[in-house]
Amino acid sequence: MLYKHLSEVTDEEMEKLLCRTGDMMDVAGTVSSILKDVQEKGDEGLREYTLKFDKADIHTIEVSSEEIEQAMKEVDAELLRHLKIAAENIRNFHTAQLPQKTWYIEPSPGIKLGQMATPLASVGAYVPGGRASYPSTALMTIIPAKVAGVKNVVMCTPPGSDGKVNPLTLVAGKVAGADHIYKVGGVQAIAAMAYGTESVLSVDKIVGPGNVFVTVAKMMVRDKAEIDFPAGPSEVLIIADDSADAAMIASDILAQAEHDPKSVSVLVTTSSELAEQTNNEVKKQAAIAVRREIIEQSLENAAILVTDSMDECIRISNDFAPEHLEIMVEDDDAVLDMIENAGSIFVGNYAPVAAGDYASGTNHVLPTAGYPKIYSGLNIHHFLKYSTIQKITKEGLSSIGDTIIALAEKEGLQAHADSVKSRLMS
């Protein structure tokens, strides 16, 4: 872990912290090959790559209703209750995001301008597997799509070596409202949702997080299906002053670190005492962590930076543009007002990232690697498209006719000008 005063951080160390796009170019050739194979081979390609990467020999690619019913029986009733609580909170939050479906303004007599929101026809939700199962991601990706009114939402998630999907992930997909669930993951799943196969329906948009292979695959299929944004290894940046609790900060650092060896956790603080306490707490908590091996690898990407001012902390945060930002300072509103780039923001000592990951209701599918500078986290608007509307009378056209004609003729588009002249002369 990098542990220094900001003034001692080298340009190389800062560059490593800020440039987190990873090895996308290194995997581009492999990803392109898999995409092409699945596009050409369809289901056969899916089975081949599922056997190769997941060690699972799958015959039917779509999860059957019987398999879902069996999963419902296997999931503990109390756990199912908690899953439904989380689902309801997520549904409520995203319902609040819904825009007015159609609206109009009337800037002048005879001109009525408006906008109409309509849902996408089909969406593919990618739910990762691998190091852990993520039923929460099924809720986060499918529920907003359904709230937006998407009629066909499909979910892809990798199976275990036994060819079965984690029961809780299946149940989460069912609770969220998935119309089809496929037991296929990785690049091959992205290819299937983009191009379609004999079993998998092609979709208009693909959402959800994944590893570097999945992220690159999503970026490569954008000629066939739109995507939400690049989303890679998880990351958190914590801004704290001496009012924060070191044990809480350390637990949040480890919570991100346990995701993946490439996860990034950063603390920037004005308090050297808090920095020292947090460093000690991280070591203590990591030593007894369940996912200790992954955490220890991830902590190689972590940093504790001591600054001379809160303004420096905020500047670093805005440059870093974290997926998750925690603000643990006495005057948190003042800091919040100065934040420009963050995927999701957690304010106060009792707002851990885990709250948004599971049950508060906000979405945990977020841009990483600095992409919060240009992308928003997954929200209701990812599943809607907008059409503008003009309702214009002859009186209204007359009021802007000279302007249209003058500009059209200046651009050399006489037919455009004539389309207005003919109406005004009739």
Segment 62-86, tens digit of pLDDT: 999 999 999 999 999 999 999 999 9
57 in the same domain as 138 = yes
29, 136, 206 from 209: Cα distances, Å: 20, 12, 10
**Is 234 labelled a binding residue?**
yes
Inter-residue contact 299 to 1 (CB < 8 Å): yes
Classify strands 2-5 and 122-126 as parallel, antiparallel or unpaired.
Answer: unpaired
250 in the same domain as 208 = no
278 in the same domain as 194 = no
The pLDDT assigned to 231 comes to: 82
Q: Active site residue: 180, 323, 326, 382, which one? A: 323
Q: Give the Cα separation of 250 and 245 in Å (integer).
A: 9
40 in the same domain as 145 = yes
Domain boundary among 314, 344, 364: 364
In a domain, 369, yes or no: no
95 in the same domain as 78 = yes
The pLDDT assigned to 129 comes to: 86
**Is 89 labelled a binding residue?**
no
In a domain, 193, yes or no: yes
In a domain, 41, yes or no: yes
406 in the same domain as 355 = no
The pLDDT assigned to 426 comes to: 81
Domain boundary among 208, 227, 246: 227
CATH of the domain at 311: 3.40.50.1980
**Is 92 labelled a binding residue?**
no
298 in the same domain as 254 = yes
Inter-residue contact 391 to 126 (CB < 8 Å): no
50, 122, 242, 306 from 268: Cα distances, Å: 42, 42, 12, 6
**Is 211 labelled a binding residue?**
yes
> Which run of H or E residues covers position 104?
strand 102-108
Q: Which two tokens stand for residue 91?
A: 């549904």
183 in the same domain as 326 = no
Whether 409 sits among the annotated catalytic residues: the reply is no
Q: Give the Cα separation of 386 and 114 in Å (integer).
A: 10
The pLDDT assigned to 232 comes to: 78
Q: Give the Cα separation of 29 and 22 in Å (integer).
A: 15
Q: 149: exposed, middle or buried (C-beta count within 10 Å: 0-12, 13-18, 19+)?
A: middle
Task: Name the residue among 315, 326, 209 with its Cα closest to residue 266.
Answer: 326
266 in the same domain as 146 = no
Q: Which two tokens stand for residue 270?
A: 């004005």
Inter-residue contact 61 to 155 (CB < 8 Å): no
Q: Give the Cα separation of 155 and 208 in Å (integer).
A: 10
> Which run of H or E residues covers position 238?
strand 235-240
- Domain around 418: 393-425
Q: Give the Cα separation of 240 and 267 in Å (integer).
A: 7
In a domain, 14, yes or no: no
209 in the same domain as 60 = yes
User: For the chain, how many structural domains are there in total?
Assistant: 3
Whether 59 sits among the annotated catalytic residues: the reply is no
**Is 259 labelled a binding residue?**
yes
The pLDDT assigned to 321 comes to: 97
The pLDDT assigned to 74 comes to: 96
Q: Give the Cα separation of 206 and 104 in Å (integer).
A: 31
243 in the same domain as 138 = no
Q: What is the pLDDT of residues 339-375, one digit of tens each?
A: 999 999 999 999 999 999 999 999 999 999 999 999 9
**Is 59 labelled a binding residue?**
no
251 in the same domain as 201 = no
- Residues whose CB is less than 8 angstroms from the CB of residue 259 and which lie 6 or more positions away in sequence, other chains included: 131, 233, 234, 294, 298
Torsion of CA 139, 142, 146, 147, to 10 degrees: 50
The pLDDT assigned to 24 comes to: 78
Low-confidence ranges of the chain (pLDDT < 50): none
Q: Active site residue: 180, 235, 281, 324, which one? A: 324
Inter-residue contact 172 to 136 (CB < 8 Å): yes
The pLDDT assigned to 195 comes to: 98
**Is 82 labelled a binding residue?**
no
